[in-house]
A and B are shown apart, each in its own frame.
Chain A
Amino acid sequence: MMLNLAQNLIDALSLGSIYALTALGIGMIFSVMRLVNFAQGNYIAFCAFALLVPAGEGISRPFIGLLPGWALVPVVIALGMLLAMASEILLFRHLRGAQPATMMIASFGLGSALQNLLLMLFGSRPIAINLWPALTQPVMIGSLMVPRLQLVILAVTALALVALTLFLRRTRFGTAMRASSENFLMARMLGVPADRVILVAFGISGALAATASLLTLPQTGIADIRMGDGILLVAFVATVVGGLGSLTGAVLSAYLIGLVSVFLQIALPLAARPYRDAFVYAAVIAVLMLKPDGLFSADRRSQRI
């Protein structure tokens, strides 16, 4: 029983990690420019397909995927960053001052364009990718059998969170970013370079998308043009439930959703189990009714709309 519990906890944490990385990517951009970026999920799919040569319907021909791990990881992360930064330069920079709803729909347009670009290049069928098969081997911790991949996911996410925290807390640029997310107008007046702050926020969210992509691939073994959609929905909800603009809140509530999902999977009676997601989302509504500003929003200065 205890073993089961520990196993479920690790499941929940590794599921929550993927959500957390994506929620962080959405939160980074939202906090500096009030944009809910629906293309974040498509960045994830894009990074997965970057491993392959475009070869039409369902054929897997690795390209970057052939590189050894030490070269592959930085290349994919760089691609993710480039893609996200390109979307800022080509699209969102031209929408400064537009309504949040307009920017959101523009990000949906961008996401749809990316998805269809992948469809044109790779076809609609999911493509099998055999990335780092060694990771699926389980390891024994005491009498607990854990897939190595889940440990890697936990470690990488923890590393990413620590690195990001250090960047935001300890560097000059990180301070500028935090100031921008508190009060963008004021930060600009005090000489924070707005466009550069936003560009870096996009770069970070692209890197996070690439990381999420590389961590999801060995688990599922397939690249699908819709692979980011499910993650995006949960991450989006986590960002709001955590309190928009609060990065810590986004990460914590992403883990919370992971935990609640796995917990309900065990606790619900068999007949109700297929409806698990309905219970999760009903809980989301309940939380919002009780705390409309989000679970982890510390101050009451949140924007009134």
Chain B
Amino acid sequence: MSANRPLQRLAARHATSVILSLALLATVLLLTGLASPLVVRVGIGTLISVVLVVGLFIFVGNSGILSFGHLGFATVSAYATAWLTMRPAMKKMLLPGLPEFILSAQWPSFLATLASGLLAGLVALASGVFIMRLSGVAASIATLALLAIVNTVYANSDAVTGGVGSLAGIPTGLGIWTVLGWAVFAIVVAHIHATSAAGLALKSCREDPIAAEACGIRGFRVRLLAYVLSGFVCGIAGNLQARYLGVISPDSFYFGATLLALAMLIVGGMFSLTGAVAGVVAISVAMEVLIRLEGSIELFGFTVSIPAGTANFLIAAAMCVALVKRPQGLVGDREITLPASLLGKLDRHASNSKNNVGTTTVENTL
């Protein structure tokens, strides 16, 4: 690695996040320029999923531990958003159990996003202190238990959450540029973390926990850091989701949503940031196209009605086919980066990849 070419080093290091961000920016420009408001709205939903799945990737991708708990952080944040941004008169009616200072509060949306994200991160910290002592399947099940706990608590605390049913009245009007900003933020944070010392240490624990501990890496610490960071980013996604729909319920962040987010990550490529983004885009686009098919269509002069559930059936079937064809995910464990010719023989990161791919195994990113 030559120290006299700092610019190229910088380019090599941040190529993945810059390219992914530019790709999203280009898509958004295209959508706002050409597409109907309806399609733009779909774009917003997809970008929120990008924030969520990239948040999930920060922990799952680097630690190799499947987490079922991250939608719990989204729940925490979505309800915090409701507490901070709903009109006080409405809160007094719907959520009478809230303390006075929250009842009267109505925060600007940016501050509310930060605050609810931080609250989600705090819950991640409090639960992670226990759960991150575990590894492997035990950790996965502990996060599943956490999700069930959060869901039970929020679904039954009627006075502050409105209970099992939907809570409406969260101010909407989320623009696509705001969401794009948060998606880029999530990608940059994820990439900086993945290539930082803590991120690499976590990956080494994933590859070989015993060897990593023997090298002096404290698994608990690096796991906890990634867990809290990803809890924060998933919290941001929860906030955006609440502001996008204006209506939230505990079950909209439960097991089904959890598995869908995990599916997006794994279909894309579990150990790759590029894969996380690719998985979201692939599944979201497939869902949008197929959902349009439902209802009745004209076919050779006959009206054929396609029953509800057909679209989701086809998506699930397509997902199974995709997993059989590419068990490592759409992009495997590679990352998109600049072609080696542009970077010169700068470091092994670039020289290992023939055309715009790198690898995430520990030796190669070091």
In this complex, the interface size class of chain B, counting residues with CB under 8 Å from chain A, is: 35 or more
- Determine if A237 and B323 form an interchain contact, defined as CB atoms under 8 angstroms apart: no
The residues of B that contact A284 with a CB separation of less than 8 Å are: 141-142, 145
User: What is the predominant secondary structure among interface residues of chain A facing chain B?
Assistant: helix
- Determine if B270 and A101 form an interchain contact, defined as CB atoms under 8 angstroms apart: yes
User: What is the predominant secondary structure among interface residues of chain B facing chain A?
Assistant: helix
For A, the interface residue count at a CB cutoff of 8 angstroms equals 50
Interface 9-residue window, one of B10-18, B130-138, B168-176, B344-352: B130-138
A299 CB to closest chain B CB (Å) equals: 16
- Determine if A241 and B141 form an interchain contact, defined as CB atoms under 8 angstroms apart: yes
Interface 9-residue window, one of A15-23, A115-123, A139-147: A115-123
Which residue of chain B has its CB nearest to the CB of A56? B307
- Determine if B312 and A106 form an interchain contact, defined as CB atoms under 8 angstroms apart: no
A233 to B255, CA, bound (A): 9
The residues of B that contact A102 with a CB separation of less than 8 Å are: 266, 270, 323, 327-329
Which residue of chain B has its CB nearest to the CB of A274? B156
Q: Which of B137, B138, B209, B263 contacts A105, CB < 8 Å?
A: B263
A105 to B270, CA, bound (A): 11
Q: Is A189 an interface residue (CB 8 A)?
A: no
The residues of A that contact B270 with a CB separation of less than 8 Å are: 99, 101-102
A244 to B140, CA, bound (A): 13
B69 CB to closest chain A CB (Å) equals: 10
Interface 9-residue window, one of B195-203, B313-321, B335-343: B313-321
A276 to B255, CA, bound (A): 18
- Determine if B148 and A278 form an interchain contact, defined as CB atoms under 8 angstroms apart: yes
B191 CB to closest chain A CB (Å) equals: 22
The residues of A that contact B141 with a CB separation of less than 8 Å are: 236-237, 240-241, 284, 288
Interface code A110-146, partner B: CB below 8 Å = 1, 0 otherwise? Answer: 1111001111110110000000000000000000000
Interface code B119-135, partner A: CB below 8 Å = 1, 0 otherwise? Answer: 00000000000110111
The residues of B that contact A94 with a CB separation of less than 8 Å are: 324
Q: Which of A95, A233, A275 contacts B323, CB < 8 Å?
A: A95
B209 CB to closest chain A CB (Å) equals: 7
A121 to B152, CA, bound (A): 32
The A-B contact count (CB < 8 A) is: 142
A305 to B205, CA, bound (A): 10
The residues of B that contact A118 with a CB separation of less than 8 Å are: 309
- Determine if B323 and A278 form an interchain contact, defined as CB atoms under 8 angstroms apart: no
- Determine if B263 and A277 form an interchain contact, defined as CB atoms under 8 angstroms apart: no
The residues of A that contact B146 with a CB separation of less than 8 Å are: 281, 285
With A95-B324, A233-B255: A304-B148 Cβ-Cβ less than 8 Å: no
Q: Is A5 an interface residue (CB 8 A)?
A: no
Q: Is A263 an interface residue (CB 8 A)?
A: no
B83 CB to closest chain A CB (Å) equals: 20
With A95-B324, A108-B259: A288-B152 Cβ-Cβ less than 8 Å: no
- Determine if A38 and B152 form an interchain contact, defined as CB atoms under 8 angstroms apart: no
B250 CB to closest chain A CB (Å) equals: 12
Q: Is B66 an interface residue (CB 8 A)?
A: yes
Which residue of chain A has its CB nearest to the CB of B310? A120
The residues of B that contact A244 with a CB separation of less than 8 Å are: 137
- Determine if A95 and B142 form an interchain contact, defined as CB atoms under 8 angstroms apart: no
Q: Is B293 an interface residue (CB 8 A)?
A: no
The residues of B that contact A3 with a CB separation of less than 8 Å are: none
- Determine if A117 and B313 form an interchain contact, defined as CB atoms under 8 angstroms apart: yes
The residues of A that contact B262 with a CB separation of less than 8 Å are: 105, 108
Residues of B whose CB lies within 8 Å of any CB of A are 64, 66, 130-131, 133-138, 141-142, 144-146, 148-149, 152-153, 156, 209-210, 255, 259, 262-263, 266-267, 270, 307-310, 312-313, 315-317, 319-320, 323-324, 327-329
